[in-house]
C-alpha cells in the first residue's frame, strides 16, 4: 500500500443532498458508526496520501468541522457558486496547490511570490478523487486502483462496475479499437444506444495532477445540466492520445452511493451484514444476524457470543468468551473475558473479566466493574468504581462512588451524590455489607468490613468493622385504620379480624365497656428508657429490631419520635 501512495486525495462533499429531506447534510448521516464522510476519510487515510482535501459548500461549517474532528490535518476547500463536479475538483486542487506552495515557502524562507517558488510548487503525481457518499468503498480497493494507475502509466484510471440496471449512472464508452475508455457520458446526455451500456462510472478516479489541472481549464458547461463535469476530463485525455483505462470491480455495492434515506438504510444493512460475516469467520458466534448490529470500529475476540438484539457501537471491545445479550446496547464499552452482559444499556464503561451485568442495568459514563463483580437487575451506575468480587444485585443507584473489593450492597440502595449544586463522592471499603434500603448521603465513607442495618440513612463516616444504624424502633398504633379510615374496605376487614380475635369473656361486657377495653389495650405509653435505648416510646412485649443478627445498636441520645401526624394520642 505504501508503494501505491498517491500525492493527494480529493473528497467531494459539497452537495446539498436534497433527496435526503433532512436538516443534516447528506455526508453527515451515519451508518456503521461513522458518517458517510467519515467512511470516505477513513478509506482515503488508508492510502497514506501526502494530503487530503475535502471540498465543501452546503452547510459548509458543519461539514468542515466534522472533517477536521476526524483528521485535523485535512485541508478544507470551498467550492464557489459555479456548479458541477469539475469545478469542485478544481477548487480542491487549487487548495492542495496552495498548501504545497505554503509548505515550500515555509521550508525555504522565501516570500510567497518569490521567483521560482510559485511556478514549481504544485501537487505532482497521482491525485485520487472520490465522492463523500460512498460508504462501502475501502482503502484496499483504492490501493489497487492507484497501483494499476502507476503500473500502466495512465493519465486517468477509473473504477467501474457492471450493474443490471444502469439507470441514473454515467456510462463508460470504450474505444472499439483499443478497449481503452474514450468518454464517460452522463445519463441525461446519453444516446439511446449509450443507455444500453451496463458498465458504469463509480465516480472514483485517479488522475495525473498535471493533466487534471490543465484539462479542468478546458471543461465547459455545455450539457443537459449546465454544469462543469469532471467526466469531461476523460474525453480530453483520450483526445490527446493519453492512456485512459478502467479497473472494473466485480462488487457493485462497494461503489454504490447514497442519495436518499432508503439507500442509506440498504447500504447500512449491507455494511452490517459484511461486518458480521467477517467476525463469524474469525470465531465469533452471532446467533441472529438479522437483529445484531456491530459498528466498524468494534473489536471482538474469539469465542464471543452475541445473542439476538445486540447493538455494539463506537469503539466497544469484547474479550474472549464473553456473552452479550440478548437485547443489549453498548457504546464505547470495554468488556473483559468471560463476562456476561444481559439486557443492558451502557456507554463509556469498563466491565471486568468474569463479571455479570443485568438484566435491565444502566451503565452510564465512568462505570467500572471489577473482575467477577456483579451489577444486577434494575441497577444504575454513573461514575462508580465497583471492586473485584463486589455485588450490587438489584434496585440500586450508585452515583459518584467507589466501592471496594468483595463488598455486598443491599437491595434498594441509593448513593445520594447531588446537593442541588455540586456532585459529591462516597466510598465503601472492602468486605463491607450494607443493608437493604440504605441511603448514603455524600460525601460519606464506610470503612472496611463495616455493616449498615436495613433502612439506614448514612450521613456520617462509619468506622471499619462498625455497625451503622439510624432507624428508630418500630411503633404499632393499634386500631388506627378503624379510627382514621372509617368506611373503607381495609377498616371493615380490620374490624372483622379484631372481633374474631377478641377474648370470649369480653362478650358479656356492654358495647361501651368493650370499646374502652380496646382503647386501653391499644394505647402506646411514653416511657423513660432505663437501658439507654434511643427510643422514646416502648411497646409492651415488642421484640427488638434485629440488624444482621446483632443486638439493636445503642446511642446516648434520647430523642422521642414525633407522634403519628394528626393522631389524637
Question: Exposure of 514 by Cβ count < 10 A (0-12 exposed, 13-18 middle, 19+ buried)?
Answer: middle
Start-to-end C-alpha separation, the chain: 89
Distance CA 569, CA 343 (A): 51
Residue 518 annotated as binding site:
no
Pairing relationship of beta strands 156-162 and 199-208 according to DSSP bridges: antiparallel
Q: Are 132 and 40 in contact (CB under 8 A)?
A: yes
Q: Is 339 annotated as a binding residue?
A: no
272 in a known ligand binding site: no
The rounded distance, in Å, linking the Cα atoms of 533 and 553 is 8
- Is 364 labeled as ligand-binding? yes
Residue 169 labeled ligand binder: no
From the list 178, 13, 175, 159, the residue with the least C-alpha distance to 85 is 13
CA 483 to chain centre: 57
Q: At what angle do helices 36-45 and 60-70 cross, to 10 degrees?
A: 40
Pairing state between β 356-357 and 374-386: parallel
Residue 559 in marked binding region: no
- 121/98 Cα distance (integer angstroms): 8
13 is in an annotated binding site: yes
- Catalytic site includes residue 394: yes
Identify the three-state secondary structure at position 43: helix
Asked if residues 445 and 458 have their Cβ atoms less than 8 Å apart, the reply is no
Q: Is 103 annotated to bind ligand?
A: no
85 annotated to bind ligand: yes
Task: Tell me: is residue 418 an annotated ligand-binding position.
Answer: yes
405 is in an annotated binding site: no
Q: What would the 3-class secondary structure string for 355-421 be?
A: CEECCCEEECCCCEECCCCEEEEEEEEEEEEECCCCEEEEEEEEEEEEECCCCEECCCCEEECECCC
Tell me if 154 is assigned to a ligand binding site.
no
Which set of grid coordinates corresponds to residue 115? Answer: 521567483
Peptide bond connecting 359 to the previous residue in cis, omega within 30 degrees of 0:
yes
Q: Is 216 annotated as a binding residue?
A: no
Q: Which is catalytic among the residues 394, 406, 424, 525?
A: 394
79 is in an annotated binding site: yes
Please state, as a whole number, how many other Cβ atoms lie within 10 Å of the Cβ of residue 520.
8
Determine whether the annotation assigns residue 566 to a binding site. Answer: no
**Which positions are catalytic?**
394
- Binding site for UDP-N-acetyl-alpha-D-glucosamine, by residue number, is 12-15, 26, 79, 84-85, 170, 186, 201, 259, 364, 382, 397, 408
- Binding site for acetyl-CoA, by residue number, is 411, 417-418, 454
- Binding site for Mg(2+), by residue number, is 133, 259
- Binding site, by residue number, is 12-15, 26, 79, 84-85, 133, 170, 186, 201, 259, 364, 382, 397, 408, 411, 417-418, 454
Amino acid at each position: 500500500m505504501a508503494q501505491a501512495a498517491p500525492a493527494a486525495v480529493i473528497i467531494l462533499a459539497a452537495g446539498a443532498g436534497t433527496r435526503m429531506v433532512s436538516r443534516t447534510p447528506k455526508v453527515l448521516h451515519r451508518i456503521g458508526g461513522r458518517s458517510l464522510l467519515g467512511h470516505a476519510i477513513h478509506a482515503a487515510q488508508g492510502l497514506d496520501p501526502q494530503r487530503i482535501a475535502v471540498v465543501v459548500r452546503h452547510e459548509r461549517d458543519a461539514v468542515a468541522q466534522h472533517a477536521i474532528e476526524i483528521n485535523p490535518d485535512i485541508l478544507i476547500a470551498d467550492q464557489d457558486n459555479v456548479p458541477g463536479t469539475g469545478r469542485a475538483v478544481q477548487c480542491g486542487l487549487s487548495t492542495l496547490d496552495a498548501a504545497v506552495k505554503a509548505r515550500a515557502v515555509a521550508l525555504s524562507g522565501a516570500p510567497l511570490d518569490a521567483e521560482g517558488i510559485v511556478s514549481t510548487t504544485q501537487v505532482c503525481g497521482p491525485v485520487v478523487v472520490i465522492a463523500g457518499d460512498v460508504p462501502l468503498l475501502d482503502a484496499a480497493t483504492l490501493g489497487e486502483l492507484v497501483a494499476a494507475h502507476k503500473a500502466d502509466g495512465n493519465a486517468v484510471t477509473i473504477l467501474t462496475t457492471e450493474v443490471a440496471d444502469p439507470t441514473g449512472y454515467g456510462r463508460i464508452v470504450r474505444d472499439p479499437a483499443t478497449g481503452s475508455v474514450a468518454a464517460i457520458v452522463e445519463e441525461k446526455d446519453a444516446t439511446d444506444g449509450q443507455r444500453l451500456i451496463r458498465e458504469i462510472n463509480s465516480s472514483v478516479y485517479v488522475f495525473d495532477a498535471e493533466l487534471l489541472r490543465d484539462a479542468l481549464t478546458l471543461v465547459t458547461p455545455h450539457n443537459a445540466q449546465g454544469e462543469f463535469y469532471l467526466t469531461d476530463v476523460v474525453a480530453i485525455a483520450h483526445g490527446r492520445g493519453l492512456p485512459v483505462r478502467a479497473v472494473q470491480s466485480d462488487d457493485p455495492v462497494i461503489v454504490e452511493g447514497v442519495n436518499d434515506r432508503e439507500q442509506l438504510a440498504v447500504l447500512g444493512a449491507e455494511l452490517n451484514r459484511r461486518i458480521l460475516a467477517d467476525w463469524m469467520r474469525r470465531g465469533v458466534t452471532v446467533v441472529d444476524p438479522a437483529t445484531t448490529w456491530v459498528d466498524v470500529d468494534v473489536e471482538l475476540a474469539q469465542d464471543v457470543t452475541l445473542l439476538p438484539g445486540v447493538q455494539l457501537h463506537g469503539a466497544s471491545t469484547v474479550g474472549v468468551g464473553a456473552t452479550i445479550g440478548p437485547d443489549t446496547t453498548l457504546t464505547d464499552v470495554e468488556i473483559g473475558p468471560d463476562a456476561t452482559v444481559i439486557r443492558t444499556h451502557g456507554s463509556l464503561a469498563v466491565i471486568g473479566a468474569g463479571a455479570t451485568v443485568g438484566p435491565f442495568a444502566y451503565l452510564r459514563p465512568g462505570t467500572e466493574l471489577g473482575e467477577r463483580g456483579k451489577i444486577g437487575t434494575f441497577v444504575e451506575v454513573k461514575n462508580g468504581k465497583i471492586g473485584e468480587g463486589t455485588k450490587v444485585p438489584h434496585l440500586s443507584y450508585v452515583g459518584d462512588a467507589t466501592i471496594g473489593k468483595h463488598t455486598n450492597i443491599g437491595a434498594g440502595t441509593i448513593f445520594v451524590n447531588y446537593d442541588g449544586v455540586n456532585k459529591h463522592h462516597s466510598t465503601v471499603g472492602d468486605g463491607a455489607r450494607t443493608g437493604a434500603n440504605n441511603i448514603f448521603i455524600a460525601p460519606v465513607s464506610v470503612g472496611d468490613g463495616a455493616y449498615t442495618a436495613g433502612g439506614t440513612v448514612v450521613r456520617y463516616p462509619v468506622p471499619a468493622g462498625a455497625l451503622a444504624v439510624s432507624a428508630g424502633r418500630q411503633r404499632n398504633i393499634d386500631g388506627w385504620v378503624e379510627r382514621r379510615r372509617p368506611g373503607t374496605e381495609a377498616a371493615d376487614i380490620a374490624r372483622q379480624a379484631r372481633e374474631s380475635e377478641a377474648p370470649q369473656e369480653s362478650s358479656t361486657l356492654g358495647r361501651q365497656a368493650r370499646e374502652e377495653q380496646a382503647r386501653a389495650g391499644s394505647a402506646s405509653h411514653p416511657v423513660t428508657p432505663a437501658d439507654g435505648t434511643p427510643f422514646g416510646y416502648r411497646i409492651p412485649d415488642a421484640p427488638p429490631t434485629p440488624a444482621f443478627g446483632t443486638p439493636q445498636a445503642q446511642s446516648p441520645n434520647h430523642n422521642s419520635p414525633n407522634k403519628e401526624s394528626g393522631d389524637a394520642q
